[in-house]
Amino acid sequence: MKIQTKAVHAGDRKKGGAHVPTATPIYTASSYFYESMEELDRVFGHEEPGYCYSRYDNPTNAALEEQAAALEGGHGALACSSGMAAIHMALLAALVDRRKSVLAANALYGATVSLLMNVMEPSGVSVRFADLWDLDAFRRAMEETKPGCVLVETISNPLLRVAPLDRIAEIARATGAAVIVDNTFATPVLLRPLELGANFAVHSATKYLAGHGDVLGGIVVTDAAHYEGVRTLARAVGPVLGPFESYLTMRGIKTLPLRMERQCANACRVASWLTSHPAVERVFFPADPAHPDAADIRRLLAPGLYGAIVSFELKGAARAEVFRFMNALRMIVRATSLGDVHSMMLYPVMSSHREISPRHRERMGIRDNLVRLSVGIEAVEDIVEDLEQALRQTG
């Protein structure tokens, strides 16, 4: 079954009686009643399927989890209250029976870096950052640190490096390390990390999966070896998503392939236009033939789909000039998110990477003149026109 069909049908229409709803209902109950204590006891003991308490499981959440696992080609999934909760759960599950050490890519979302440095390290987890695109250096770092898990983004935030996930997974597997991949930017439409050897695929469901700016949520999709560990931790920690948010995310996923195809096509045209604009110093976009990961992009990403994020640097701009440019935008939304149907722009220095020290940002290549554009489904001519008039006013 193709991913477009899975997105529409997976998770829905569970048999529960004579009447089967065509869309999954929103189950708001916190607990569930059975005719006998013996039956409830079997449900609690996982001896027969059923629901007993919504911190453990919920029918609406379960439908979303089935849908997400189907799209990612995973064994199972956990719907979480945010993308950061999902990453945290994946890290905890990966390290349960492994050395408490993480080898992370040196190109990551700022909040993920903060989670590693300010939560995981003080809890006794060793954290090291490495260039996962230099496979020889990555092998050396693996030998030196012997980490319990490797953490990487499919397409990095915000400079859009594309990781050689299959080779990273092969190297990690040889040492027994689990591989966690944040697949938010790519979505399963572009790439499915578990099919390349990863153990966890994590999403901020707030972004492309839900797609309409009305959900805060996250999802962890796992292989068979880690699924029960994630569920056991979730029952203890309780990071679960609410059923209404699960319903909205599930509804959003039904149009995910359509939205991603349109957004990727728009992003290609926007990136090409920006490349030739005199006020733009540099454009970061995976379709660029000169992209440092061009060979891996051709090998790993779905043909013709390069993601819908375009990052670019304004020529000679400092913070004041960036603010002037963004304030001049009339249609593109100035907001701290991405993946919505409307185009959005963010200033990483001020938002996504605000908590990262200036020196660390500089090492990551995130300069003060960089902006990140999440391209929406609008007519691409209107997106370009808004950028043009804003760049004209800035100059």
Residues 19 and 122 in one domain: yes
Q: With 70 as the cut, is the pLDDT of residue 388 above it? A: yes
Stated as kind and residue range, the H or E segment containing 227 is helix 224-237
Residues 317 and 188 in one domain: no
Domain closes at, from 253, 273, 293: 253
Residues 129 and 63 in one domain: yes
Give SS3 for 19: coil
Residues 275 and 235 in one domain: no
In one-letter notation, the amino acid at residue 215 is V
The active-site residue, picked from 57, 182, 296, 386, is 182
Least confident of 106-120, 285-299, 347-361: 347-361
State the average pLDDT over residues 172-184: 97
Q: What is the CATH number for 43?
A: 3.40.640.10
Domain closes at, from 191, 223, 253: 253
6 is catalytic: no
Residues 164 and 280 in one domain: no
Interval 303-343: pLDDT, tens: 999 999 999 999 999 999 999 999 999 999 999 899 999 99
Residues 296 and 202 in one domain: no
Binning pLDDT at 50, 70 and 90, where does residue 21 land?
confident
Residues 197 and 328 in one domain: no
Residues 20 and 110 in one domain: yes
Backbone angles phi, psi at 211, to 5 degrees: 80, 0
Interval 44-65: pLDDT, tens: 898 999 999 999 999 999 999 9
207 is catalytic: yes
The active-site residue, picked from 42, 55, 99, 173, is 55
The confidence score (pLDDT) of residue 384 equals 98
The confidence score (pLDDT) of residue 349 equals 83
51 is catalytic: no
Provide the domain limits for residue 115. Answer: 3-253
Q: With 80 as the cut, is the pLDDT of residue 351 above it? A: no
Residues 267 and 192 in one domain: no
The confidence score (pLDDT) of residue 196 equals 98
Residues 248 and 265 in one domain: no
Number of domains, the chain: 2
Binning pLDDT at 50, 70 and 90, where does residue 156 land?
very high
The confidence score (pLDDT) of residue 364 equals 73
Name the CA dihedral angle for 239, 348, 201, 255, rounded to a multiple of 10 degrees. Answer: 90
Q: What is the CATH number for 343?
A: 3.90.1150.10
Domain closes at, from 212, 237, 253: 253
The active-site residue, picked from 207, 259, 262, 372, is 207
Residues 283 and 232 in one domain: no
Q: With 90 as the cut, is the pLDDT of residue 394 above it? A: no
The active-site residue, picked from 109, 208, 227, 347, is 109
Interval 126-151: pLDDT, tens: 999 999 999 999 999 999 999 999 99
CA–CA distance, 27 with 60 (Å, rounded to integer): 6
Interval 235-252: pLDDT, tens: 999 999 999 999 999 999
182 is catalytic: yes
The confidence score (pLDDT) of residue 363 equals 74
Interval 183-194: pLDDT, tens: 999 999 999 999
State the average pLDDT over residues 336-359: 83
State the average pLDDT over residues 101-107: 96
Residues 229 and 263 in one domain: no
What pTM value is reported for the model?
0.95
Here the contacts of 360-369 (C-beta below 8 Å, separation 24 or greater) are 360/113, 363/106, 364/106, 364/107, 364/159, 365/107, 365/159, 366/158, 366/159, 367/313, 368/317, 368/318, 368/319, 368/322, 369/281, 369/313, 369/314, 369/315, 369/316, 369/317, 369/318, 369/321, 369/322
